Structure 1
Amino acid sequence: MTTWRLKPIPIEFDTPLQGYAGWDELPYAIEDFGKKYNVDTTVINFDAYYPWKTETVFRKYFSKEPIQQTVKPLTVRMFAESAKAGRWLYD
């Protein structure tokens, strides 16, 4: 993701990955993660993380209220801790 001036916005440990990748893109990265770190990613319940409501560019100009998510964020920290443990720790 980038700012409107095309400056990259770095991903941090607790950044929700759903804002960076759609439902159709993230499974490929998760599959690669599972192979690389020997973590069974088939146990991940994607219904717990999707659908994710994304904020439009103009929303921040019309509303100060944050979007209320109905699902949990899927973060880099979750993948890092699961890689250390050798299994998926969440859900």
Structure 2
Amino acid sequence: MVTDEAVLSFFREQLPVLGLLPMQSNMLSIDDILQEYTEPEDLLPAIRKYEQVFGVDISSMNIDNYYPWKVSWFFRRWFMKKPIEQTSHPLTVRMFAESAKAGRWLYY
């Protein structure tokens, strides 16, 4: 049985740590938006490896539903009150964990 923690540990191993020093406060959590946590160049190979490691059929996953993703610049919250309007859907580790339990990609 695949657990949420197993999938989270997998992505923590596969993706670089956000920031300069690996600390508890900047470690990937299960509900973090992966597009904001890492670059597509790191995420896409991790997704391919996830498919092999967990035996999940991701053929129905359309990556175009999740990109392009607009990342906010650090000081935006002090200068702009209006949040960024995303046209793509967020990807989270929880989505991958639920799909691993089902054995196939569950999301659009």
- Aligned mates of 1:66, 1:44 — CA distance in 2: 27
- Which has the larger displacement, 62-71 or 46-55? 62-71
Aligned Cα root-mean-square deviation (Å): 2.1
What TM-score does the superposition give when structure 1 sets the normalisation length?
Answer: 0.84
How far the C-alpha of 1:20 sits from its partner, in A, is: 1.3
Specify the alignment match of 2:69 in structure 1. Answer: 52
* Aligned pair partner of 1:12 in 18, 29, 52: 29
Whole-Å separation in 2 of the counterparts to 1:21 and 1:2: 10
What is the percent sequence identity of the aligned residues? 47
TM-score (structure 2 length as normaliser): 0.72
* 1:1-91 mapped onto 2 (5 Å cutoff): 1-2=18-19, 8-91=25-108
Q: Which runs of 4+ in 1 moved over 3 A?
A: none
Q: Which runs of 5+ in 1 are unaligned?
A: none
Which structure's residues are more often helix, by fraction? Answer: 2
